[in-house]
Amino acid sequence: MNFAQIKELKDKILGGYQITKEDALKLVSTENLEALYYSANQIRAKFCGEYFEMWSVYHQNLGRCENDCTFCPMSNVTKVDYYATCDETCNIETVEKQAESMRILRAQGVRKVEIDSTHSSLNDENLSKMICMLNAIKNKVDIELCASFGILSREQLIRLKNETNINYYHCNIETSESFYHNVCTTIKPEDKYETLKTAKSLGFYTCSGGIIGLGESMEDRIDMALKLRSLNVDAISLNIMLPFPGTPLEKQARLSNQEILTTFAIFRFINPKAKLRFARGRSMIKIIEKEALKTGMNSSIVGELLVNAKGADIRNDIQLFESEGFIIRK
């Protein structure tokens, strides 16, 4: 696509048009990348405004997972034991430590924290533990929490809705449906889609996304973006593959900066109204972060995914986001 064609497609999106896979494939083949990125940012400005959201993530360790996700340090195919089993999910001392960290985050401008169970699904016993922890933290800190518990049944999601005042639910779909079998064979992608659909029907604000750089093609990324659009998710986390030693993908080659920026822009063209969030692997794009903020992004995990991030890290993030014209939602 040339400049005029990109502008024409952008203007159609601003008027309510949803682009097709064919449109997206033409976009990624363009040599006019500046026009692509600029147009993606205009789409973001039109539908999302200048507000920028900061999140943090807390990983609640429930031990090694039974699934075989090739990118995950917790999976049963990882040769390194990264995390020992932790059964102190609702321990008073543990919760108070978590709450204190989140008070500090809230004071620094972080409005939301995602509680990640580090498992792709939860049995009823572990769900009860996580519900206990969510309620204990909410009783101590005025902060929004997002439950990231993977695949849950309708009954489990109803429990989460009825037994907490959590409004956000997160479940990554990881990659395209056609590429999925290359990164996981023990989880059906359809189960993830059903979890997101059910959460949405129950009134949760839904968050999802995936990882780029697993070995998938740009067409796979387009398919993932289109699937997320069909699921009507409210926010999309874009993780960049971060190789962990001992995992099957520990030697996976890093994506080029151009490929990363183009992927971000394509996600904005396909999902004009969703929040697009920097997530895991953000540390790998520090050199192009200013450019990335001009490709349609409007949300970020801050503090290198650590709930006890140093105040200076978050202050630097705020300075960066505001220098690019964003207004931080505090």
- Show the CA angle centred on residue 107, arms to residues 102 and 108, nearest 5°: 95
* pLDDT per residue rounded down to tens, the chain (330 residues): 999 999 999 999 999 999 999 999 999 999 999 999 999 999 999 999 999 999 998 887 766 778 899 988 878 888 777 655 555 566 666 788 888 888 988 888 898 999 988 778 889 998 998 999 999 999 999 999 999 999 999 999 999 999 999 999 999 999 999 999 999 999 999 999 999 999 999 999 999 999 999 999 999 999 999 999 999 999 999 999 988 889 999 999 999 999 999 999 999 999 999 999 999 888 888 899 999 999 999 999 986 444 444 556 888 999 999 999 999 977
DSSP 38: H
Which tokens go with 234?
A: 């409210």
Q: What is the pLDDT of residue 87?
A: 52
- The answer to the question of residue 91 being in a domain is yes
- How far is 175 from 153, CA to CA, in rounded Å? 21
Q: Is 179 exposed, middle or buried (0-12, 13-18, 19+ CB in 10 A)?
A: buried
- The answer to the question of residue 1 being in a domain is no
- The answer to the question of residue 136 being in a domain is yes
- The answer to the question of residue 271 being in a domain is yes
- Residue 99 parent element (H or E): helix 92-107
Q: For residue 251, what are the CA distances in angstroms to 5, 33, 69, 244, 273?
A: 39, 29, 15, 9, 35
User: How many domains does the chain fold into?
Assistant: 1
- The answer to the question of residue 203 being in a domain is yes
Q: What is the pLDDT of residue 145?
A: 95
Q: Are strands 51-59 and 299-301 parallel, antiparallel or unpaired?
A: parallel
- The answer to the question of residue 3 being in a domain is no
Closest CA to 257 of 287, 237, 283: 287
Q: What is the CATH number of the domain that holds 81?
A: 3.20.20.70
- The answer to the question of residue 245 being in a domain is yes
- How far is 141 from 309, CA to CA, in rounded Å? 17
- The answer to the question of residue 187 being in a domain is yes
Q: Are 28 and 295 in contact (CB under 8 A)?
A: no
What sign has the CA pseudo-torsion 329, 205, 22, 222?
positive
Q: What is the pLDDT of residue 59?
A: 80
Q: What is the pLDDT of residue 308?
A: 44
What sign has the CA pseudo-torsion 315, 317, 319, 321?
negative
- How far is 14 from 42, CA to CA, in rounded Å? 9
For residue 243, what are the domain limits? Answer: 51-328
- How far is 244 from 250, CA to CA, in rounded Å? 5
